Chains A and B, each alone.
Chain A
Amino acid sequence: MAVQTTTTAGTTQAAPRRLLLEVLHDWVTTVDHKKIGLMYIGYALFFLVVAGCQALLMRIQLAVPNNHFVSPQTFDSLFTMHGTTMVFFVGMPILFGFGNYLVPLMIGARDMAFPRLNAFSFWISAFGGMLLYFSYFGASGLYGAGSAPDVGWFAYAPLTAQIFSPGHSTDYWTLAILLSGIGNIGTALNIVATTICMRCPGMKLNRMPLLVWLYLVTSCLAFVTISPLTAAQIMLMLDRYVGSHFFDTQAGGSAVLWMHFFWIFGHPEVYILVLPAFAFANEIIPVFSRKAIFGYPAMVAASVGIGFISLSVWAHHMFTVGLGPGPNTFFTLATMVIAVPTGIKIFNWLATIWGGKIHFTVAMMFATGFLFQFLIAGLTGIMLSVAPFDWQLGNSYFVVAHFHYVLVGAILFMIFSAFYYWFPKMSGRMLSERLGKWHFWIFLIGFHLTFDFMHVPGLLGMPRRIYTYEADRGWMIWNMIVSSGAVFQAVATLLFVYNMVWSYFKGPIAGPDPWDAWTLEWSTASPPPAYNFAEVPTVESRRPLWDIKHPEDPDSRYE
């Protein structure tokens, strides 16, 4: 066994018990990237539960034909709030939360480049979420009975026009997303600046952990894509407040213009969400396969390639608009081309696992599930990229099944994997593997019951956002299976929450490096001290901890 001891810092004495107000003051005034990351994650988990409950309500409504469990108006609000919450107030915050926590630790920095901007970015995103949900009370005016936004998460014009969407519900949606956008740009700026400027000695770009590379690409994508969304939101506010006509088709405006603005954000947004999931896979799969990542340069190139290509595929969401043969061909091709760098990634992950000594911890189990499910999600994506196929199935439950396969089957699975992998670092305690395995298997069954079978009613012609349906359509059995799968997922998620709470107080002590891993965050105490590293580390390869553990055979000899 190769052993080397290094010295870092940590608190060895038990801290005295503090008053609740002191604790609250600490969290409100903190500019520490780790605490801000944890706040991002906590706030996203809260909204995950909220949006999950909304999904359950929708599935109850759709489980049987001619159901009136909720009103049509409530159903409209439910799918709008579910989509908006999941994308803007669960997906982005949880991924930026992990980025906030991990990027400085992985590059050997003491904090983000702009710690105060970091705190501001978190708080403004959080207030955006609160404003969105305040719409339930104030959407028709502070003194009236309110209602939440109900225009769908992509809020197509002209439905958002004042005449079709009176009151303030759509304004709440617009303003909440504007606030969230400011926060996301701030965090993206911070991640880019931190990555470029604050790497520890020896950490060249070609030695940077792949997670950091992926967050760099994600942040650059956020710069490019959130700006048009913000512009569109301002234009919509102008339409609704001062009578401009950007999207007013009756007065020379263009509804298709909104679609372009929205989807030039909306599709790269999928990659903003999935690239951090790739980032987690890049760290977790090698550690539990006991092999270095296969094809590091190719993985970096593929990530950057995905970043660029993802900016040229947005109009595949608009095939049914009637774009014409030229744009149809271009966007079909561009969408197919993105499968190339994505395929490189999948092959490289498989090559990493191949011949490795695989440890099926819960983190690795979720990562394995991610690999298979992301492949299937990609294949249905290729099917939908073909314009004539999309004309048949656009706006159907097939599309809903496809993107949930990406969002749940790939992204959420990797988020769970990341929790099991980094929870020991964040809390100092291990999550229960036994409960974790229950969580994995129940969630896996629920996921496949829901989203495998959701393709079928789509193929049978069931449109998305439909409130209810007649019994003679033949959709009932499929919807019943889909809804029953949602119950499995809810139970599994509750198990996960219980596991986190129980393990936080009672879990076994993790120690600094419970997984025998190779990146810098595992070289400091768990949880890390405020300053991360007592001495700024120096690295000589992509796996600095491997080098320390195996001085007789360091990676630096080969890179």
Chain B
Amino acid sequence: MHDDATHGQGNSVLLPRPTAWPMALALGLSLIFAGMVTNVAVAALGLAMTLAACVGWFRQVLPHEAHVPVAVIAEEVEIASARTLIQRPQRSASAAPRKVLPVETFLIGNGIRGGIAGGLAMTVPAGIFSVLKYHSFWYAINLLAAGGFVDWASASNAFLCQFHLQGLLAALVIHGLTSLLVGLLYGAMLPMFPRYPIVTAGFMAPLLMTGIMFSALNILSPILNQRIDWPWFILSQIAFGLVCGYVVNLHAKVRTPQFQALSFAERAGLHSNLVELDGSQADPSQTGVQRGTQPGTKNGDKEDGAL
């Protein structure tokens, strides 16, 4: 491998020596290929060229890579911004000039735990529906497995009410993975909607998820879509949402690395300089997500030639 840290004598840099052998090798190989559709003499020429190019190339790099010193001519390159900075009088002199989000979030593990708990809770209404309506616990499980075994979507009710090992395994995989992923989503998103956690986690998210599922399944597998009892499905989703949201919210939030960017006074909870969009002071008890930053200043350029 070319060593880019190599320095030459004095004020020079060592760079790989220019060579035509790579081009010659490429031409040789191309001629070999071209010989297959033209004439064997073309391929023979290509072979000779390939061998010569290989030898030439090897001699470029063995025993030592050939380098050529290139003189470095110093020139000043000015790295400067022509733009002026926005003056922000509402800030105190000690305040950090911009804010980054979020400063607090849930651990990934909380989302996973919430997903597992929600997944278990969801089985209760699903099981009750299955037993009440079809007198078999296995109906709901096999209907879920139809997501993997596509032809099961059109199977008879009697078939779906029987125990099938592969159906159980498929349903476990589908349900387990989906629960974990949605749990992670809850962990990531709940800090963004902290005001009404029960409504968000327990009702809004399940209804949204049901809407997406209904629309998608109507396209993907209309037959399976017709067999699903949607009111019971919504009930299961709400069970998942309430339990998953509760478990995720049970755990304390952790501070992200962005927290370190805040001043000591803010980190200590003694002072908040976090500014809302209208310039008023934000509630310091709110999470970092709510502590909004001004458009155009978040993570970015506060430059403005007009100001």
Identify the A interface with B (CB < 8 A).
1-13, 26, 28-32, 109-117, 119-120, 123-124, 126-128, 130-131, 134, 138-139, 141-142, 168, 171-172, 175, 178-179, 182-183, 193, 197-198, 237, 241, 286, 289-292, 294, 325-326, 328-329, 332-333, 336, 354-357, 386, 512-513, 516, 522-525, 529-531, 534, 536, 545, 548-550, 552-553, 557-559
**Can you list 18 A-B contacts with CB-CB less than 8 angstroms, sorted by A residue number?**
A1-B82, A3-B78, A8-B75, A13-B73, A29-B20, A32-B18, A116-B22, A119-B19, A168-B37, A289-B300, A290-B300, A355-B294, A512-B79, A516-B83, A523-B79, A529-B73, A548-B79, A553-B98
CA distance A138 to B23 in the complex (A): 23
**Cross-interface CB contact of B33 among A4, A11, A178, A552, cutoff 8 Å:** A178
CA distance A168 to B216 in the complex (A): 48
For the complex of A and B, 7 pairs with smallest distance between CB atoms = A355-B295, A291-B300, A123-B26, A127-B30, A120-B22, A290-B301, A124-B26
Please determine whether A356 and B296 come into contact, CB atoms closer than 8 angstroms: yes
CA distance A357 to B302 in the complex (A): 9
Please determine whether A355 and B78 come into contact, CB atoms closer than 8 angstroms: no
In the complex, which residues of chain B have a beta carbon less than 8 angstroms from the beta carbon of A524? Answer: 77
In the complex, which residues of chain B have a beta carbon less than 8 angstroms from the beta carbon of A29? Answer: 18-20, 23
CA distance A328 to B151 in the complex (A): 12
Identify the B interface with A (CB < 8 A).
1-2, 4-5, 13, 15-23, 25-27, 29-30, 33-34, 36-39, 57, 60-61, 70, 72-85, 96-98, 100, 149-151, 216, 219-221, 257-258, 261, 294-296, 298-304
In the complex, which residues of chain B have a beta carbon less than 8 angstroms from the beta carbon of A198? Answer: 4
Please determine whether A4 and B79 come into contact, CB atoms closer than 8 angstroms: yes
In the complex, which residues of chain B have a beta carbon less than 8 angstroms from the beta carbon of A179? Answer: 29-30, 33
If the complex has contacts A7-B77, A168-B37, are A531 and B61 also in contact, measured as CB distance less than 8 A? no
In the complex, which residues of chain A have a beta carbon less than 8 angstroms from the beta carbon of B60? Answer: 116
In the complex, which residues of chain A have a beta carbon less than 8 angstroms from the beta carbon of B294? Answer: 355
CA distance A249 to B81 in the complex (A): 66
CA distance A501 to B17 in the complex (A): 30
In the complex, which residues of chain B have a beta carbon less than 8 angstroms from the beta carbon of A28? Answer: 20, 23
Please determine whether A357 and B304 come into contact, CB atoms closer than 8 angstroms: yes
If the complex has contacts A28-B20, A29-B18, are A294 and B36 also in contact, measured as CB distance less than 8 A? no
**Cross-interface CB contact of A333 among B23, B37, B80, B220, cutoff 8 Å:** B220
Please determine whether A123 and B16 come into contact, CB atoms closer than 8 angstroms: no
In the complex, which residues of chain A have a beta carbon less than 8 angstroms from the beta carbon of B76? Answer: 5-7
CA distance A175 to B296 in the complex (A): 53
If the complex has contacts A131-B33, A193-B1, A531-B72, are A123 and B79 also in contact, measured as CB distance less than 8 A? no
Please determine whether A115 and B16 come into contact, CB atoms closer than 8 angstroms: yes
CA distance A75 to B302 in the complex (A): 56
For the A-B complex with A9-B73, A124-B26, A168-B37 known, give 11 more contacts whose Cβ atoms are closer than 8 Å: A4-B79, A5-B80, A7-B76, A113-B1, A113-B2, A357-B304, A529-B72, A529-B73, A531-B72, A549-B79, A558-B261
Please determine whether B298 and A10 come into contact, CB atoms closer than 8 angstroms: no
Please determine whether B299 and A294 come into contact, CB atoms closer than 8 angstroms: yes
Please determine whether B16 and A116 come into contact, CB atoms closer than 8 angstroms: yes
CA distance A332 to B1 in the complex (A): 43
In the complex, which residues of chain B have a beta carbon less than 8 angstroms from the beta carbon of A11? Answer: 73, 75
CB of A32, distance to nearest CB on chain B (Å) = 8
CB of A295, distance to nearest CB on chain B (Å) = 9
If the complex has contacts A31-B19, A116-B57, are A3 and B37 also in contact, measured as CB distance less than 8 A? no
Please determine whether A12 and B72 come into contact, CB atoms closer than 8 angstroms: no
**Cross-interface CB contact of B221 among A120, A289, A329, A512, cutoff 8 Å:** A329
In the complex, which residues of chain A have a beta carbon less than 8 angstroms from the beta carbon of B36? Answer: 171, 175, 237, 241
CB of A122, distance to nearest CB on chain B (Å) = 8
B149 to A, closest residue via Cβ: A326
CB of B64, distance to nearest CB on chain A (Å) = 14
A332 to B, closest residue via Cβ: B220
**Cross-interface CB contact of B300 among A117, A356, A523, cutoff 8 Å:** A356
CA distance A553 to B17 in the complex (A): 42
CA distance A451 to B295 in the complex (A): 36
In the complex, which residues of chain A have a beta carbon less than 8 angstroms from the beta carbon of B1? Answer: 113-114, 193, 197
Please determine whether B19 and A516 come into contact, CB atoms closer than 8 angstroms: no
CA distance A386 to B1 in the complex (A): 47
CA distance A510 to B307 in the complex (A): 26
B29 to A, closest residue via Cβ: A124
B150 to A, closest residue via Cβ: A325
In the complex, which residues of chain B have a beta carbon less than 8 angstroms from the beta carbon of A513? Answer: 77, 79
Please determine whether B298 and A291 come into contact, CB atoms closer than 8 angstroms: yes
CA distance A60 to B301 in the complex (A): 49
In the complex, which residues of chain A have a beta carbon less than 8 angstroms from the beta carbon of B80? Answer: 1-5, 549
Please determine whether B84 and A1 come into contact, CB atoms closer than 8 angstroms: yes
Please determine whether A525 and B75 come into contact, CB atoms closer than 8 angstroms: yes
In the complex, which residues of chain A have a beta carbon less than 8 angstroms from the beta carbon of B100? Answer: 558
CA distance A290 to B302 in the complex (A): 8
In the complex, which residues of chain A have a beta carbon less than 8 angstroms from the beta carbon of B17? Answer: 31
CB of A284, distance to nearest CB on chain B (Å) = 15
In the complex, which residues of chain B have a beta carbon less than 8 angstroms from the beta carbon of A109? Answer: 4
Please determine whether A329 and B220 come into contact, CB atoms closer than 8 angstroms: yes
CB of B230, distance to nearest CB on chain A (Å) = 20
Please determine whether B79 and A31 come into contact, CB atoms closer than 8 angstroms: no
**Cross-interface CB contact of B2 among A111, A178, A286, A294, cutoff 8 Å:** A111
In the complex, which residues of chain B have a beta carbon less than 8 angstroms from the beta carbon of A30? Answer: 18
CA distance A32 to B303 in the complex (A): 37
CA distance A4 to B4 in the complex (A): 26
CA distance A172 to B61 in the complex (A): 34
Please determine whether A290 and B2 come into contact, CB atoms closer than 8 angstroms: no
Please determine whether A171 and B37 come into contact, CB atoms closer than 8 angstroms: yes
CB of A424, distance to nearest CB on chain B (Å) = 14
CA distance A172 to B33 in the complex (A): 9
CB of B253, distance to nearest CB on chain A (Å) = 18
Please determine whether B77 and A8 come into contact, CB atoms closer than 8 angstroms: yes
In the complex, which residues of chain B have a beta carbon less than 8 angstroms from the beta carbon of A329? Answer: 150, 220-221
If the complex has contacts A3-B78, A175-B37, are A534 and B4 also in contact, measured as CB distance less than 8 A? no
CA distance A139 to B17 in the complex (A): 39
In the complex, which residues of chain A have a beta carbon less than 8 angstroms from the beta carbon of B33? Answer: 131, 175, 178-179
Please determine whether B26 and A120 come into contact, CB atoms closer than 8 angstroms: yes
Please determine whether B81 and A1 come into contact, CB atoms closer than 8 angstroms: yes
CA distance A138 to B38 in the complex (A): 7
In the complex, which residues of chain A have a beta carbon less than 8 angstroms from the beta carbon of B19? Answer: 29, 31, 116, 119
Please determine whether B298 and A531 come into contact, CB atoms closer than 8 angstroms: no
In the complex, which residues of chain B have a beta carbon less than 8 angstroms from the beta carbon of A117? Answer: 22
**Cross-interface CB contact of B301 among A119, A291, A354, A525, cutoff 8 Å:** A291
CA distance A193 to B3 in the complex (A): 12
Please determine whether A110 and B15 come into contact, CB atoms closer than 8 angstroms: yes
In the complex, which residues of chain A have a beta carbon less than 8 angstroms from the beta carbon of B23? Answer: 28-29, 119-120, 123
Please determine whether A292 and B299 come into contact, CB atoms closer than 8 angstroms: yes
CA distance A28 to B220 in the complex (A): 55
Please determine whether B300 and A116 come into contact, CB atoms closer than 8 angstroms: no
Please determine whether A111 and B15 come into contact, CB atoms closer than 8 angstroms: yes
CA distance A193 to B1 in the complex (A): 9
Please determine whether A116 and B21 come into contact, CB atoms closer than 8 angstroms: yes
CB of A8, distance to nearest CB on chain B (Å) = 5
In the complex, which residues of chain A have a beta carbon less than 8 angstroms from the beta carbon of B21? Answer: 116
CB of B91, distance to nearest CB on chain A (Å) = 12
In the complex, which residues of chain B have a beta carbon less than 8 angstroms from the beta carbon of A333? Answer: 220
CA distance A291 to B298 in the complex (A): 8
A2 to B, closest residue via Cβ: B81
CA distance A112 to B13 in the complex (A): 15
CA distance A4 to B303 in the complex (A): 16
If the complex has contacts A31-B16, A142-B39, A291-B298, are A10 and B77 also in contact, measured as CB distance less than 8 A? yes
Please determine whether A355 and B22 come into contact, CB atoms closer than 8 angstroms: no
Please determine whether B84 and A9 come into contact, CB atoms closer than 8 angstroms: no
In the complex, which residues of chain A have a beta carbon less than 8 angstroms from the beta carbon of B16? Answer: 31, 111, 115-116
If the complex has contacts A116-B61, A536-B5, are A549 and B97 also in contact, measured as CB distance less than 8 A? no
CB of B252, distance to nearest CB on chain A (Å) = 23
